[in-house]
Chain A
Amino acid sequence: MKERRDQTPAGRDEVLPFPAETDELRRLLENDETETSAVLREVIDRVERESRQEPPELGELRGLMFGGEIDRLNRLETRMDDPSELAEDVSRRIAEGLAAKDPRQDLFKRALIPVVEEAIRDSIRRNPKVLVDVLFPIMGPAIRKAIAAALAGMVSSLNSTLENSFSWQGLKWRLEARATGRPFGEVVLSHTLIYQVEQVFLVHKETGLLLCHVTSKEEDIRDPDLISGMLTALQDFVKDSFSTDQGDMLETMQVGEYTVRIEQGPAAILAAVVRGAPPVEVSNRLQNALERIHLEKGTDLTDFEGDTDVFEDCRPILEECLDAQYGAGRSGEQSGNKVLRLAYGLIGVLVLVFGTWMFFSLRESRRWNDFLTRLRAEPGIVVTDYERRGGRYLVAGLRDPDAADPDALARAASIAPDRLDTRWEPYVALSPKLVVARARRMLETPATVTTEFDNGELKLAGHAPHRWIAQAVPLARTVPGVTRIRTDGLKDSEREAIEATGREIEAIRLGFALNAVEPLPGQDEAIQKLVKLLETLRDTAKIAGVPVSIEVFGQADGVGSVEYNRQLSQRRAEYFQKLFAAQTGGAVTFRAIGLGIAATGGETPAQRSVSFRVSVGEAAQVQR
């Protein structure tokens, strides 16, 4: 600093002739600031004074050099001095400041808050009606919204109860009252509430003139414009007569089954004639409509000069209020009924399906148990495992080949054999029924033979062919389970037949003439019968394989010598022996025996005879 000061004066003194104060100024710049500015002000004043006395050329020169700047300065000055332009400018700046996102601008906004608050407070203090009127269209919805939210929970709980409880109406309401803990009357009321908004009047508040009128029925509407006037008069009357508070107004009138609901707005009122008991929602709807009308027709209402045509636009809004004639309760009930009907239907179908399924399931189960019981009771079958899976039946166990057929048992229990899967391990059962079955199978027992089994002893009884008896009896001992055999009830059917034929033959006796060897003529019938019997005997004996022998006895009368008669009787027997032996072809053995004079004595023709004796089996073999 010091150096600079030392150098500059010399240079400047040479170039420009500065006033004498220059040095003084320089000195001041380095000293006290207040002193400096005071001196500077003085210098500037002096320069200004001098410039006012300047010659016109200087002004011209200044104009040439600083013309643009001067113009701009002048414009600025005008702007600052003109209140309207300044106001416009400032308001634009304030708007920009308020709209700015810059956080530093928040300061500006914060500064405004107390001012605005104070302004509102002041306005309310002076005339609350102004702000109330301004806020009217928005306050109503806001308050209602808050109340509605608070009530929503309660209403929804009630509604759901209404819709979900089912039974006949009365019973339903009773149950509902019990379930919700509300008085029964209240529940009934909430169901039976029916009302109808029949007319709605939009009335200009100040004049009482009718602006718009809607009705649900066209007939019998008496001059609505007169009613509107009277309604207003009545309101004024009531207000003047009973109310001390400025804000209190007539809200409801009730005549018989009619209720007139009056909703107040700042410039108009809405009156609804309702038949029945109007619920709160009617008021809400009216309030809503009134707010909308104020919003849309605010100016028309305040500037009303008697022209009602402009309010024709409000007709739809008023008609909406008429539409509320059927309460939500009813439609809710209807939809509730619908839901109920659907629920009943669904439950019905479910019950039907479940019932059917239960029926078949139970029947199936019973059949399966029945089948298992039958299987278990069946000798020769041991069930070790069983299962029912996916409609199929699985059974495993032991089964004697002679036991009952499981498929037959399944059919008997009404179970289709094709749904039955079985796995049987064969085994030998020793239960009597099985031993009998096995014995009959092994011995190929004919139907005429009965079999009994008791304690190891197999008892055979009845008729059977000779050959079967011969084979079966020894075989029976080998049947598993059989330890003893009893055959005393068993009859040889062929041998019995042979013996019967033999008895018939033995009953025949043939007579002879005196001293004759051939039988008396006229006995052909007896001889023919004898031949037939012998043929039967021969055939049966052949089939059965049983030896049969026939002894032919010849007899003579007492005429003649004993020896002669013995020979004669011998010849008579031999005659028949030869005759029959040829016929039977060796299947039957014949022996002729001459008995000589008949033991009866005498000389009767009856003594001259031939008779027979038939022997079967072992006896026949002895005879030989």
Chain B
Amino acid sequence: MIQKKVCMLGAFAVGKTSLVARFVKSIFSEKYHTTVGVKIDKKVVAGENGDINLILWDLYGEDDFQKVRMSYLRGSSGYILVVDGTRAATLDTAIGLNRNVEEAVGVLPFVVVLNKSDLTQEWEIDEGRVSQLAAQGWSFIRGSAKTGEGVEEAFQLLVEKISRA
């Protein structure tokens, strides 16, 4: 069985945990986030050469009080950046995080999930910025923890990027 370590990153309350909650196997409680700063889940994704076991390191959302521990990214094959589509600031946080990651562990495959896609009324993300980043090689996927939209695709895409890397 092929195993890969994958991190979930994003600003505070972007819905990282909610996004994957329906799709992953978890044995640890939410408490880990606030104590250790990470919660580990598992997700099996079909790859080209059989199933791939993704070990998801769901990192505590970055906010003013707590920074993401970069040491948790060590050994990661890739990561998912989660952005709250209803809060534009979270995209900035994601950009900042991405920079930190590249400084700490180098360039890795990643996928950005624009969460809360069901709340179209409150959408704040500027499409122009998105297409600008996409031009730099960022992969965006719209997703919703509520509807489950885009989650499988995000993981599938990340696995493809990792296997190509």
Contact = CB atoms under 8 A, between A and B. Distances in A.
Given A226-B28, A226-B40, A233 B57 contact: yes
Contacts of B53: 225
B75 A229 contact: no
B27 A222 contact: yes
B14 interface: no
Most buried by B among A230, A239, A307: A230
Interface in B25-77: 25-28, 32, 36-38, 40-42, 52-53, 55, 57, 69, 71-72, 74-77
Nearest to A235: B71
A355 to B, nearest CB: 69
B75 A236 contact: no
A261 interface: no
Interface in A211-250: 222-223, 225-226, 229-230, 233-234, 236-237, 239-240
Contacts of A305: 2
A302 to B, nearest CB: 12
A209 interface: yes
B161 interface: no
A204 B75 contact: yes
A122 interface: no
B131 interface: no
A35 interface: no
A233 B40 contact: yes
Contacts of A308: 1-3
B25 A233 contact: no
Interface string B7-37: 0000000000000000001111000100011
Contact of B41 (A205, A209, A226): A226
Contacts of B142: none
B5 interface: yes
A306 interface: yes
A277 to B, nearest CB: 27
Nearest to B76: A207
B4 interface: yes
B27 A233 contact: no
A210 B3 contact: yes
A178 to B, nearest CB: 50
Interface in A2-32: none
Given A210-B3, A233-B38, A226 B27 contact: yes
A549 to B, nearest CB: 150
A207 B75 contact: yes
B31 to A, nearest CB: 12
Given A226-B41, A236-B69, A209 B3 contact: yes
A239 B36 CA distance: 12
Chain A, interface size category, equals 20 to 34
Contacts of B72: 233, 236
B42 A223 contact: yes
Interface residues of B, number: 27
Contacts of A309: 1
A206 interface: yes
A306 B27 contact: no
A208 interface: yes
Contacts of A209: 3-5, 55, 75
B36 A208 contact: no
A230 B69 contact: no
A208 B5 contact: yes
A571 to B, nearest CB: 166
A307 B77 CA distance: 13
A416 B72 CA distance: 100
Contacts of B42: 223, 225-226
B71 A208 contact: no
B39 to A, nearest CB: 8
Contacts of B36: 230, 233-234, 237
Given A230-B40, A233-B40, A306-B77, A223 B3 contact: no
Nearest to B4: A306
Nearest to B35: A237
A226 B55 contact: yes
Most buried by B among A204, A209, A210, A239: A209
A12 B138 CA distance: 96
13 contacts: A207-B55, A207-B76, A207-B77, A209-B55, A229-B57, A230-B32, A230-B38, A234-B36, A236-B69, A237-B36, A237-B69, A306-B2, A307-B2
Given A225-B55, A236-B69, A306-B77, 15 more contacts: A206-B74, A207-B74, A207-B75, A222-B27, A223-B27, A223-B42, A226-B25, A226-B28, A229-B40, A229-B57, A230-B36, A230-B40, A237-B69, A240-B71, A306-B3
Interface of B: 1-5, 25-28, 32, 36-38, 40-42, 52-53, 55, 57, 69, 71-72, 74-77
Q: Please list the 5 inter-chain residue pairs (A to B) with the smallest Cβ-Cβ separation, ordered nearest first.
A: A207-B75, A206-B75, A229-B40, A207-B5, A236-B71
